[in-house]
Structure 1
Amino acid sequence: MDAPLEALIAAVVAFIFISLLFGFLALVCRKPQPKPQFLASRSLHSSAVAASAPFEESDTFDPALDRVSLAELAAATKNFSPESIIGDGTFGFVYKAQLPSGVLAAVKKLSSDAFSPQGLRQFRAEITTLGGLRHPNLARILGFCSSGRDRMLIYEYLEQGSLDSWLHDEEMNCSEPVLAWPVRVKIVKGVAAGLKFLHDECQPPVIHRDIKASNILLDGGFQARIADFGLARQVDGSRSHVSTQAAGTMGYMAPELRDGLMATAKADVYSFGVLMLEIASTRRPSWPVREDGGYEVSLVKWARKRIEEGSLREILDHRMEIGEGKVGEVEGFMAVAYKCTEESAKKRPSMREVVLLLDQLL
């Protein structure tokens, strides 16, 4: 092979080698391209829960309320100041706010936990479930605001705050009168009516899954309103339960949920029964009760034993004045609480049956 041909072949080989080398280096060193961001649609549900939405989204469910921006909510709550806090829900604090329209509202600002898959589900559940429900014993949601990673829910403001505060807040207990027995009965009947509506009158039915004193709000007349639907689930017509991990609050949680079984409406019935015992006794379900022998038991176990023995006055808040004429009411009240807190879900009544029993006995 002559010299010019060898030189040409060497040049071609060198060119191919260098081209491959530069191509390899370019592939290795190339910066990753950012994933495209898709704008959320303007529909209510998808826009409310888009985790990376680059714009602010808000909407209202009350025709009398104008849309509210994040800046306006911040101003209305003094930049979400601790002094504006009036309660806390499953995933965030609740602030008292006077909106630019003059409406007094309660704004729930979801905490960082809301950015987990569970927290995003909660935001979706609050909007899709509570936004479309109307009942005198359900807290009314007025609207929402979603801006970047900030998510706020706007509720009607209820003057008397949470039932938990009335039962357990020491400062309030010192400055306010003790809840009288008729008021406690009224609260119980209101919660029962709200749950009956969710279980029997909603289509599809709704299981709340977190009935507890802090999720019961009171209006000016001490009418009960069920709030915080973050763990709520709708049950379609083909099933009587929802497939889920344990949900709820310790002390109120039904035994089947603690054991990892399916959630049914009977789990709400159990939590309601626990709430009845808490309202009557002013004892926290999450705190153990010390028996005479020194050992500790749950509020439910302690109270059920007293009911079986007929020692009902031991359960009642000693600060309440209950005349002899109310003995029958107390017995009826405790009988319903006993039925609702049965260990077996099959033995518990439905909320429809509970409402009938309460109407007959109280």
Structure 2
Amino acid sequence: MALSPFEPRRLLPRLLSLGALLCVLALALALPVPAHAVRIKEVAAVQGVRNNQLTGYGLVVGLDGTGDQTTQTPFTTQSLNAMLQQMGVTVPPGTTMQLRNVAAVMVTAVLPPFAVPGQAIDVNVSSMGNSKSLRGGTLVATPLKGADGQIYALAQGNLVVGGAGASANGSKVQINHLSAGRIPEGATVEREVATPLQQGEVLSLGLNAADFDTARQVAQAINRAKGTGTAMALDGRVVRVRMPVGAGERVAFLADIENLQLELARPAAKVVLNARTGSVVMNEAVTLGACAVAHGSLSVTINTTPQVSQPNAFGQGQTVVTQKSDISITQQGGNLVQMPAGTKLADVVKALNLLGATPQDLLAILQAMKSAGALNAELEVI
């Protein structure tokens, strides 16, 4: 099939565009990619600009018979009497109240930095007594206090409980947890927390983890972008930064330095062990020296069989049920496995997999390797 004289003209721009795209991709692949590149906002934060914890004690009303049993939780009745007295209602002394629709709860919230009066924040509500469920309840106005005892927010609203349950004739079915709920935007901020953002000529950046190299790189990156002498690393945790005078200039200044790029070196070798769940997590800097490991498992089995001891037909004894227990111990022999030295995380994982041990067993094996000097990493048990 012959091409018309116009078709080469149509193909030429497409070929040029494809060639230009291939050149751009080749240049992008040829450029070096910085390893461990992070921003300053990911490794440091302004000291004094943080969240504040708020707590309060209140009552949830409107429950469908799933509230506290007042005979076992007398503080619920006391709280209700105090609230009624504030509203002008006096309960006669000696009155026994069966409050099945009221529950005493603890209310918690997090006050974010720069929160202003009138701003709404989320609150968590948790039962303090023996309430069966908070589903469908309403939190009565509850003041939320900070660590200094001052009221910073006021919470009130309908609870959202992510669960369901039903019980009848001794049978019970429950999905998720019914003794705690959440009120989205259920509290209103009443007081502002002062921050050091507009105070003084300098601010301090606190690193998330103490590291002298990271502190030095943060100071150097700020000095390159904002001028020599702007930042100085005081130690492995704090970097002092000289700030501009104007309030708007400070916000723009912090926005600029938070987005500065850092090329961090490889972190210190560390292995984190969770003794409760058996989780083992290690970073890429972990290395392993040549060693030999023998691992064997020990299992104990207990079988209990009930036996009936019955007297003779004309005897005066009684039928007695006794328990017979058989205990057996089985120990599997562990072969001595030679583990080669590994300088990469993949080599370390491959060597540990040769043992065939469970995560719970690895807790003891890694600690023994550390004691023997074969594991080049810091162990942290959480």
Query: Which structure's residues are more often strand, by fraction?
Result: 2
Query: Which structure's residues are more often helix, by fraction?
Result: 1
- TM-score by length of structure 2 reads 0.17
- TM-score by length of structure 1 reads 0.18
Larger Rg: 2
Higher relative contact order (CA 8 A, sep 6+): 2
